[in-house]
Structure 1
Amino acid sequence: MSTPQVTGLYIYPIKSGAPICLPTAWAESRGLAMDRRFIICDPEGKFITAREEPKLLRLVSTLVHDGLILSAPGKLPIYLHYHEIRDQRQQVAVWNDILAGKRCPESLDSWLSDYLQQPVHLIYNDPDSYRVAGRAPKRPVLFSDGYPILLTSEASLQAIRDEGPTDTEMRRFRPNLVVKGAPAWAEDDWKRIAIGDVELELVKPCERCVLITRDPHSGEKDPRSEPLRTLARIHRSEDGRVCFGHNLMVTKPGLLEVGARVRILE
């Protein structure tokens, strides 16, 4: 059997926005550097994701040395300089958590509000924006749904393609870390892995929702509810939940690289 290796590293600077593919990524306790450091919310502080607003899937972030360049269909790009992030804080509700982040410039709010056709704010997760995963104080997390890193497997994706839509893209599942070289669904049995100097704990399978039925490029919903329908038929967790991929915690920070070997510790 071949040794598993990393084939993809992805970050999403703005929650629900388009991914950035990287050759290397720094894994810190709260997740990959610059992953889900920003979130969009309404004026009352309720977070907005592509589940409610699929136009976010087409919101592209480009990393530059002193900030982000945002672009979207029908909009001229806009530059967010990190030094322009305001000291004003706003509470934002992310599922059952409420935390305070820093407001971004009003020009960014106006640009995003025009694109989404509703009033919104862009919020930055700074070191004082405290949130933990699973109510565990030693498990800090940023604006991801619940855990810092999501791992998926190319073989598990192929299992979906074999039983359902053959053109299903990994991008639908919004992973941070993609591996190949292990059998389909093998990741369900891993408990701890190491990649280079980085050590990771596999906490729980990732439950899937209707978001994966939306085309990651256009935002359009699949009329047959695929690939969720196929996934529900061929793979569920022990408690019957429809799952794909695994949620990870970082137990030893360090640098991740595409091509690195994945060692199964437990």
Structure 2
Amino acid sequence: MPSPVLSELFIYPVKSGAPISLPSAWVETRGLAMDRRFMVCDPEGRFITAREEPRLLKLISTLVHDGLILSAPGKLPIYLHYQDIRDQRQDVQVWNDIVAGKRVPESVDQWLGDYLEQPVHLIYNDPDSYRVAGRTPERPVLFADGYPLLLTNEDSLQAIRDEGVSNIEMRRFRPNVVIKGVQAWAEDSWRRIAIGEVELELVKPCERCVLITRDPLTGEKHPRSEPLRTLARIHRSDDGRVCFGHNLMVTKPGLLTVGEPVTILE
């Protein structure tokens, strides 16, 4: 089998929104540039994800030099200029964490609220929005669920497909870093890897929930709860959790480029 390589890179500018595939991306300790820098919350600051609002999966972000263009079904696109992000800060809740982010213009909140049919705010994670993974000061993170990056393996996905779930795509698992060229589940035994000049620590397997049963393009739920049902049958962590992929911390920042070799350090 050939040596492992980085096969795909994805960012999600808005948490739970549609992905952007990139040929290369800068990664800092908090994660990939522009990955999950924005998050939707309710007026009280509680975060909203595609778990409870699957329409977010169809929220498309287009990166431009001075901002973000948001598009959604049935809506004219709206242009969010970075310079218009307000100085007003709001505390928001991400799981058990409270972090202060910046509010966007009210026109953007209104546009998004009209699409989701509820009052919401879009919050920006600026450099002063400090949050850490596992309450460890040396492990900062943006608006991702818990860790800066998520790695998945193409052959691990193929193992699920081989069980009869042939039409399941990698997008359901919302990775940042996708690798190929190693056997299924090989990543379970890794502790540290290097991709080009970047070094990454595999912290813990990524436990999966019902979100992976929703089509990433339509938001519709799979009638037989796939691929979660098959995954639960064929692959669990040592403590019995249903997992796919691994959460990563960045120990050496740098530029990631699709096609670069992956070196297993430990």
Whether TM-score is above 0.5 comes out as: yes
Alignment match, 2:232: 232
Looking at structure 1, the residues matched to 164 and 68 of structure 2 have their Cα atoms a distance apart, in angstroms, of 37
Alignment match, 2:99: 99
CA offsets, 1:174-226, max 9 Å, x none? Answer: 00000000100000100000011100000000000000000000000011000
Alignment match, 1:128: 128
CA offsets, 1:54-90, max 9 Å, x none? Answer: 0000000000000000000000000000000000000
Alignment match, 1:251: 251
Offset, 1:164:
3.0
- For structure 2, the 5+ residue unaligned runs are none
Alignment match, 1:109: 109
Q: Does 1:142 align with 2:142?
A: yes
Looking at structure 2, the residues matched to 18 and 191 of structure 1 have their Cα atoms a distance apart, in angstroms, of 29
SS at match of 1:188: helix
Looking at structure 1, the residues matched to 69 and 77 of structure 2 have their Cα atoms a distance apart, in angstroms, of 7
Alignment match, 1:12: 12
Offset, 1:42:
0.3
Contact map agreement 1:164 1:227 (CA 8 A) in 2: no
Q: Identity rate of aligned residues, in percent?
A: 80
Alignment match, 1:159: 159
TM-score (norm 1): 1.00
SS at match of 2:150: strand
Alignment match, 2:262: 262
CA offsets, 1:83-114, max 9 Å, x none? Answer: 00000000100000001000000000000000
Looking at structure 2, the residues matched to 28 and 100 of structure 1 have their Cα atoms a distance apart, in angstroms, of 20
Offset, 1:165:
1.1
Contact map agreement 1:103 1:123 (CA 8 A) in 2: yes
Give me the CA root mean square deviation: 0.4
Alignment match, 2:196: 196
Alignment match, 2:74: 74
Q: Which runs of 4+ in 1 moved over 6 A?
A: none
Alignment match, 1:3: 3
Give the 5 Å matches for 1:165-244: 165-244=165-244
State how many pairs are aligned.
266
SS at match of 1:163: coil
Letter in 1 for 2:71: S
Letter in 2 for 1:21: S
Q: Does 1:89 align with 2:97?
A: no
CA offsets, 1:141-193, max 9 Å, x none? Answer: 00000000000000000000001310100000000000000100000100000
- For structure 1, the 5+ residue unaligned runs are none
Offset, 1:2:
1.2
SS at match of 2:193: strand
TM-score (norm 2): 1.00
Offset, 1:135:
1.1
Alignment match, 1:36: 36
Looking at structure 1, the residues matched to 264 and 2 of structure 2 have their Cα atoms a distance apart, in angstroms, of 13
SS at match of 1:232: helix
SS at match of 1:45: coil
Looking at structure 1, the residues matched to 170 and 67 of structure 2 have their Cα atoms a distance apart, in angstroms, of 27
